[in-house]
Amino acid sequence: MSCYFRHLTEVFREAGVKVTPANKREVDQAVHRIVEVAYKDCPPTWKAVKARLQDPKARKTFINALRREFR
């Protein structure tokens, strides 16, 4: 689970999402939903997240989606 979390510290901070042991699975599931990859399929999820983060508009959309998930 969450093999890519260590790379998303800044993204989570920008989205206002604090990852804790208690909510890590929920955050992971949300990321999978946002990038539309089946849960627990880590490599394709990370590939999809990386692609979004490389494009400024897609990055902003991803961060906003995270914010909506964790209001």
Q: Exposed, middle or buried by CB within 10 Å (0-12, 13-18, 19+), for 34? A: buried
- The full set of domain ranges for the chain reads 5-69
The C-alpha angle with vertex 61 and arms to 60 and 67, in degrees rounded to 5, equals: 90
For residue 39, give the DSSP letter.
Answer: T
Q: Write out pLDDT tens, residues 8-59.
A: 999 999 999 999 999 999 999 999 999 999 998 899 999 999 999 999 999 9
- pLDDT of 1 over the 80 cut: no
Quote the CA–CA distance of 51 and 57 in Å, as a whole number: 11
- pLDDT of 2 over the 80 cut: no
- pTM exceeds 0.85, yes or no: yes
- Cα end-to-end span (Å), the chain: 23
